């Protein structure tokens, strides 16, 4: 192991030993999260990262006020972003189902003897897949159809249904924006509007 890696591990151990109420700099927070300063800056700009403290009130001069991260907030953010599968991570990031076409795509789902969906095969850990083989049927269903069925696992159902709802909301907003743009264009073409 090289000396830089050992130094990073030593710094990480020291940061973990600090009390939860301590405020860390962006560099320290990046080490604590095993991330980078630029990744934290990007998350701050997008509002997707951990909560942070930034000095300066209304009328403060300069846009680069120092940012600090409370260790407790970093721990809470890490815990809130735990996932148990790549599918769960993709759903959380809104990447698994991005369009109505994705919702119509057939995916493999576990189905029990009562016809209830147990979960998405791709979301299961390898050990779970091996365990469930022969125990449950595998049904290829459009994602939207699977979300509309009864499930035996409420948490998994909520995760999938939330992803489906997000796609549908997004498509609805796009459709409404298109209608609004058509209405504006239609108004602009009216003879009275030109006067």
Say whether both 76 and 125 belong to one domain.
no
* Kind of pairing between the strands at 137-142 and 23-25: unpaired
Output phi, psi for 136, to 5 deg.
-125, 155
Q: What pLDDT, on a 0 to 100 scale, did the predictor assign at position 140?
A: 94
Say whether both 125 and 64 belong to one domain.
no
Q: What is the mean pLDDT of residues 189-194?
A: 68
Last residue of a domain, one of 51, 80, 109: 80
Say whether both 64 and 103 belong to one domain.
no
For residue 164, the enclosing domain spans 86-189
Is position 195 within any domain?
Answer: no
CB half-sphere exposure, 129, CA atoms < 13 A: 10
Q: What pLDDT, on a 0 to 100 scale, did the predictor assign at position 144?
A: 92
For 78-104, the pLDDT digits (tens) are 998 888 776 667 666 655 777 888 888
- What is the total count of domains within the chain? 2
pLDDT top residue among 83 and 136: 136
Mean residue pLDDT of the chain comes to 84
Q: What is the mean pLDDT of residues 23-43?
A: 90
Q: Angle at CA 52, nearest 5°, toward 51 and 54?
A: 145
Say whether both 121 and 155 belong to one domain.
yes
Q: What pLDDT, on a 0 to 100 scale, did the predictor assign at position 35?
A: 86
Q: 130: pLDDT confidence band, cut at 50, 70 and 90?
A: confident
pLDDT top residue among 195 and 128: 128
DSSP reduced 3-state for 104:
helix
Q: What pLDDT, on a 0 to 100 scale, did the predictor assign at position 191?
A: 73
Q: What is the mean pLDDT of residues 163-191?
A: 88
Separation CA 37–CA 23 (nearest Å): 16
For 44-63, the pLDDT digits (tens) are 988 889 999 987 667 666 56
**Is there a contact between 110 and 124 (Cβ–Cβ < 8 Å)?**
yes
Is position 176 within any domain?
Answer: yes
Is position 194 within any domain?
Answer: no
Closest by Cα among 99, 91, 100 to 156: 91
Separation CA 147–CA 168 (nearest Å): 12
Prediction pTM value: 0.48
Say whether both 101 and 164 belong to one domain.
yes
Q: Helices 71-80 and 26-33, interaxial angle, to 10°?
A: 40
């Amino acid at each position: 192991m090289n000396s830089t890696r050992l130094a990073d591990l030593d710094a990480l151990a020291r940061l973990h030993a600090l009390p939860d109420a301590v405020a860390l700099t962006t560099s320290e927070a990046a080490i604590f999260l095993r991330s980078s300063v630029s990744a934290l800056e990007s998350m701050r700009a997008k509002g997707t990262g951990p909560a942070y403290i930034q000095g300066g009130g209304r009328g403060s001069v300069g846009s680069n006020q120092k940012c600090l991260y409370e260790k407790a907030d970093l721990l809470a953010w890490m815990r809130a972003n735990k996932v148990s599968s790549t599918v769960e991570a993709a759903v959380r990031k809104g990447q698994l189902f991005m369009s109505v076409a994705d919702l119509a795509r057939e995916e493999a789902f576990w189905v029990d003897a009562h016809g209830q969906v147990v979960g998405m095969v791709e979301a299961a850990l390898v050990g779970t897949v091996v365990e469930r083989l022969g125990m449950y049927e595998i049904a290829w269903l459009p994602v939207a159809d699977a979300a509309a069925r009864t499930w035996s696992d409420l948490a998994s159902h909520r995760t999938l249904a939330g992803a489906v709802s997000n796609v549908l909301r997004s498509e609805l907003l796009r459709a409404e924006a298109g209608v609004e743009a058509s209405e504006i264009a239609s108004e602009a073409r009216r003879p009275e509007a030109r006067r």
